[in-house]
Structure 1
Amino acid sequence: MDDEEARTRLLDTAEALFYADGIQAVGMDRIRAESGVPLKRLYRVFPAKESLVTAYLKRRDQRWTADLRAAATGAPDPVLAVFDWLADWFSEPDFRGCAFLNAYGELGAGGPAQVLDVVRRHKAELRSLLAELAGPNHEDLADQLLILVEGATVVAALDPGPEPARRARAVAERLVSGCVPRT
């Protein structure tokens, strides 16, 4: 097993465990055991748990944002497509809320700086994507949509299923219809 294969196995395992059980509840020994990566290689690839958590969140951010962007791009109404995508995500059997808010909630404002930086960048990227979808001169709409997305995600974490996204979509429809044309 080379370092790249070890990295992939470790990230796959860390993502499954951190998302399901929480960052603090999962130790490096468990990740090593479940990934099948020898301890020496684990620490060569990720010298500290903080570096593994950071890599996990960065990878999740890239995939999550790309999936959301793909769902919205080309949709008849890209803004509303965001909420349709959320409804599907909230219905996944292993849905456990937002990995980034979960990480922040666990680690708090005093958590590792590089981890918190990834969390903040993810939220800034999400807001930027919403601003892009809302169209030029609709900064207020983008901020409102961000609150709807985040609120729906938190509600769905407590009560999984598509309904929080559907309710947020209905509010988004009203917000969008009150805007000057977004094209």
Structure 2
Amino acid sequence: MSSPNRVVMTPAARRVLRAAAGLFYERGIHAVGVDLIAAEAGVTKKTLYDRFGSKEQVVVEYLADRDERWRAFAGEFLDAAPPDPSARVLAVFDATLAWVPDHNSKGCAMVNAHAEISDPSHPAHPIIVGQKEWMLALFTGLAGQVDADRADELGRSLVLLHEGALVAYGLGIFPGAIEHAREQARALLTRCAP
């Protein structure tokens, strides 16, 4: 999928993005209008449109920024993980555990956004889908280091554990959802390790 054009971030654009990010995540993308975003950011509606061109582009920037920050955050955990392949897989769950208290009180932003933006022609759709494809590729690559013959199967199982944990966490279905998923991933990796 091609990535959409991105906006050059001026100080006013950064304020708009910060305001939009909080509003979109807390209230939903469709529930938030440009008037509210501009007011929260302390800019005029004209400034918002001058910087972004449309609300759709604000949504693109919000999701792309969140995706980039998550990838960098997870990368730090992977860089710090021991070289053991199973430990590297579990580092992704550890990153998620560290990320969710400050970033995911209402569940995964990409899943939430997809509930509102399921049209593939929307410019934010490739970001939403791309983030989940990246997670699958990440887990599949890491799984290949555990068991090269079963990398695809193991990667899919790991992404299902991870994504299911995010949904359970966001909905508050039961306490410790991500910890439980991490433990299930550890058990799965133990069975697959040579």
CA distance in 2, matches of 1:169, 1:3: 37
Show the counterpart of 2:94. 84
Show the counterpart of 2:123. 114
Show structure 1 runs of 5+ residues with no match. Answer: none
Match of 1:105 among 108, 115, 123: 115
CA deviation map 1:47-66 (0-9, x unaligned): 11111101110011000111
Structure 1 stretches of 4+ with a deviation exceeding 4 A read none
CA distance in 1, matches of 2:120, 2:23: 19
CA distance in 2, matches of 1:149, 1:33: 36
Change (3 A) 1:3 1:135: closer
> Which moves more between the two structures, 9-18 or 66-75?
66-75
Show the counterpart of 2:158. 145
Count of residue pairs brought into register by the alignment: 179
- Does 2:187 align with 1:174? yes
CA distance in 2, matches of 1:85, 1:52: 27
- Mapping of 1:20-99 within 5 angstroms? 20-76=26-82, 77-92=87-102, 95-99=105-109
Structure number with the bigger relative contact order (C-alpha 8 A, sep ≥ 6) is 1
RMSD value, Cα: 2.1
Query: How many Å apart are 1:132 and its aligned residue?
Result: 2.7
Query: How many Å apart are 1:112 and its aligned residue?
Result: 4.9
Letter in 2 for 1:124: E
Change (3 A) 1:4 1:89: same
Give me the identity figure in percent.
Answer: 37
Show structure 2 runs of 5+ residues with no match. Answer: 1-7
TM-score (norm 2): 0.84
CA distance in 2, matches of 1:162, 1:92: 17
